[in-house]
Amino acid sequence: MQQIKIGIVCYPTFGGSGVVATELGKALAKEGHKVHFITYSQPSRLDFLNENLFYHEVDFRSYPLFEYPPYELALASKMVSVVKNEKLDLLHVHYAIPHASAAYMAKQILRSQGIIIPVVTTLHGTDITLVGKDASYEPVVTFSINQSDGVTAVSEDLRRQTYEYFTITNEIDVIPNFIDLDKFKKQKKDHFKKAICPKGEALVVHTSNFRKVKRIGDVVSVFANIHKEIPAKLLMIGDGPERAKAEAQSRELNIENDVRFLGKLEAIEEVLSVADLFLMPSEKESFGLAALEAMACEVPLISSNAGGLPELNVQGVTGFLSNVGDVEDMTRKALFVLDKNNLPTFKQNALKRAQEFDIANIRPLYENVYQRVLQKVSQNAPV
């Protein structure tokens, strides 16, 4: 498609929405589009230089009058500045709160100056299912989504919930999350595997932000059951409010010597490349990006059947799904997958499924939305 100038607004953190936004921007830049990131700090995965990539930091300051700094106002002002100075064609905001409402404000300011800027909003999950449902935010979220020129969601389940929770008049396109298969290509790290599992133990991995919704206690419980049956090790990647409780639980179950908490890791693919099984027992999961990253490293998945996970994890093929909280069922299925006669097939199936979500397949879907929105706006523009 024709090269365009895109402003991407996202959270710069390790969370799924920030990762997706950053990786999408990098992929678009490789295709020749000019991509301008607008956020309060450099995104964690914006880790290489490209002549088509730019970063604009939102500067917001504290004043004695404000109990909380007015980030949304600072963000809207920055959007106005970047759109005008860089002559952007389109804004793509990830996560509805507060990015979609700030984009609407910027859009109106620019319109008063004779500049038309279309806005695409991507919904990622908790901006709809958790935060957005809060009565204090709902009117603004509904209005901002309906005022967007294009709206996408990362799963059919999230699309359904958005229509269920909000009075949405806009059409929502489902564009799933994606993976850079070159980055997550399985690497030979035999020395690393031997250091962790010197006696050939099965290696189980979990990665998340360790919030309650991730059901970290279930991860430890399932592993404890696996540990009773076969030699195994567990690597816990990430950090958050539930970590201390999980560490205490592993000590109570007397498995602390076989459980390692690694904290946040940048090169997560190096750990995933030697894993045998990934556990994701989440209570809610709009897509399950961490699970897709594991599958791209040939790691089968035991997950809950919550949210968008059934759209990713194929029952009995790439792993298994269980009801939320059913630790015993997850354990049985985990042991079946880890059986040496079954594991190679599950590993192959996981990779094959992940290949369907290669960024080369997903990026054009976003470009199609951009093209459609730009055409719609140009047709409606005053002559």
Query: Domain-by-domain residue ranges, the chain?
Result: 5-178+359-380, 181-355
State phi, psi for 348 to the nearest 5 degrees: -65, -40
Same fold, 5-178+359-380 and 181-355: yes
Q: What's the confidence (pLDDT) of residue 193?
A: 85
* Structural tokens at position 297: 């490293």
Q: What's the confidence (pLDDT) of residue 251?
A: 97
Quickly count: other Cβ atoms within 10 Å of residue 39's Cβ: 24
* Structural tokens at position 248: 């205490």
Cα 207 from Cα 76, distance rounded (Å): 33
Q: What's the confidence (pLDDT) of residue 381?
A: 60
- Is the domain covering 5-178+359-380 a CATH 3.40.50.2000 domain? yes
Cα 203 from Cα 190, distance rounded (Å): 13
Q: What's the confidence (pLDDT) of residue 383?
A: 37
Q: What's the confidence (pLDDT) of residue 351?
A: 96
Cα 29 from Cα 32, distance rounded (Å): 5
State phi, psi for 45 to the nearest 5 degrees: -105, 10
Nearest residue to 233 (alpha-carbon basis) of 211, 206, 263: 206
Choose which CATH entry (3.40.50.2000, 3.40.50.1370, 3.40.50.10320, 2.60.120.380) describes domain 181-355: 3.40.50.2000
Question: Tens-digit pLDDT profile for the chain (383 aa)?
Answer: 689 999 999 888 756 778 889 899 999 999 999 999 999 888 777 766 788 999 999 987 776 766 767 888 999 999 999 999 999 999 999 988 889 999 999 999 999 999 999 999 999 887 776 665 677 788 888 999 999 999 999 999 999 999 998 899 999 999 999 988 887 776 666 677 888 899 999 999 999 989 999 999 999 999 999 999 999 999 999 999 999 999 999 999 999 999 999 998 877 888 898 999 999 999 989 899 999 999 999 999 999 999 999 999 999 999 999 999 999 999 999 999 999 999 999 999 999 999 999 999 999 999 999 999 999 888 776 53
**Residues 284-300, buried b or exposed e (16+ Cβ, 10 A)?**
bbbbbbbbbbbbbbbbb
